[in-house]
């Protein structure tokens, strides 16, 4: 038998928890390979090594070639991998999650499947964004109306603060360069936030598609979750970048760099973990658990890997 080359597959207990990882890394026009426990990135400027276990999400843009061995390492270390379009404005596919536990997913499915609990979670998420508003008795329609009003106020405030002209939000997913500088900056900022939000959601074992406010899309909960941080992070960053680099053709790249710095400065990754578990009502945040159980409608969770006796039709053994 031939000897397997490279570093051994790490145990879950050896991996960095999601909260301890750096936020995201965007790459385009590069070749990705594997060297031991690092992703070897090669482009026209040279070569760099990226330790796989410390990156939360790797965003792969146009012109990226990935070897099989590199993908193997990403999967083994639980790195979130998202294939995106130019400037990161579209998401096409994603890789596996870090968590092997279904606790968050089960809690999320239960909450979203009941109208009362779904509205309660939507109110809770709105209250997290705008703590001074009383939304305890609002319907979903009233929540959406109030949310739209508050977000428009945020846009107007940042426009005045940064002296950046503002009329309305315009976004063409098929033509990033057709937008105004501020709209291009907003698109890039929001997409960076979506990427990080998506990585946290799937890494923790929740579903990106089971949204409480947004619905009908495989990223509905990503949009819900990212909305918690737009007024605080992505909108201000976009207006700041537009004020400083409005005429720069690389405003998308500059915005992503600014978002990276804002993520680090705000320690947003730690907050996202706490917020996600709080929203879904699950207090345990240790996701490094490789646990599989069998479910029984009468006996509850049963140990996996045990040979059980077959039940007879009359219920006897």
Binding site for Mn(2+): which residues? Answer: 147, 214, 227
Question: For strand 38-43 and strand 31-35, is the pairing parallel, antiparallel, or unpaired?
Answer: antiparallel
**Comparing C-alpha atoms, which of 126, 152, 154, 153 is closest to residue 139?**
126
Q: Which residues are annotated as a binding site?
A: 147, 214, 227
Query: How far is 175 from 93, CA to CA, in rounded Å?
Result: 20
Could you give the C-alpha distances from 283 to 34, 104, 204, in angstroms and in order?
36, 10, 12
Q: What is the DSSP string of 35-61?
A: ETTEEEEEETTEEEEEEGGGEEEEEE-
**Which token pair is 303?**
């140990």
Query: How far is 77 from 79, CA to CA, in rounded Å?
Result: 6
To 10 degrees, what angle do helices 181-203 and 251-266 make?
50
Q: What is the DSSP string of 69-109?
A: HHHHHHHHTT-EEEEE-GGG--EEEE---S----HHHHHHH
Q: What's the count of helices (H) and strands (E) in the chain, helices before strands?
A: 9, 10
């Amino acid at each position: 038998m031939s000897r397997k080359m490279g570093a051994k597959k790490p145990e879950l207990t050896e991996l960095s928890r999601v909260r301890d990882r750096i936020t995201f890394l965007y790459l385009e026009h590069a070749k990705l390979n594997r060297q031991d426990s690092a992703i070897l990135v090669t482009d026209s400027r040279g070569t760099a090594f990226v330790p796989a276990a410390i990156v939360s999400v790797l965003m792969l843009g146009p012109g990226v070639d990935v070897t099989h061995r590199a993908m193997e390492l990403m999967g083994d270390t639980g790195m979130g991998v998202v294939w995106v379009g130019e400037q990161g404005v579209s998401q096409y596919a994603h890789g596996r999650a870090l968590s092997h536990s279904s606790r968050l997913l089960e809690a999320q499915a239960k909450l979203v499947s009941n109208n009362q609990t779904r509205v309660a979670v939507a109110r809770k998420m709105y209250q997290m964004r705008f703590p001074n508003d009383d939304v305890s008795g609002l319907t979903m329609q009233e929540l959406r109306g109030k949310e739209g009003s508050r977000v428009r106020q945020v846009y107007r405030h940042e426009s005045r603060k940064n002296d950046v002209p503002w009329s309305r939000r315009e976004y063409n997913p098929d033509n990033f360069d057709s937008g105004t500088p501020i709209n291009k900056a907003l698109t890039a900022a929001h997409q960076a936030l979506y990427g990080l939000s998506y990585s946290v959601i799937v890494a923790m074992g929740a579903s990106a598609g089971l949204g409480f406010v947004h619905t009908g899309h495989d990223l509905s909960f990503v949009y819900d979750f990212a909305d918690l941080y737009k007024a605080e992070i992505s909108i201000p960053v976009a207006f700041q970048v537009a004020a400083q680099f409005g005429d720069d053709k690389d405003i998308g790249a500059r915005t992503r760099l600014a978002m990276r710095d804002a993520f680090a400065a705000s320690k947003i990754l730690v907050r996202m973990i706490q917020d996600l578990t709080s929203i879904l009502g699950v207090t345990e945040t240790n996701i490094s658990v490789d646990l599989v159980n069998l479910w029984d409608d009468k006996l509850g969770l049963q140990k996996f890997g045990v040979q059980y006796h077959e039940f007879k039709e009359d219920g006897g053994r």
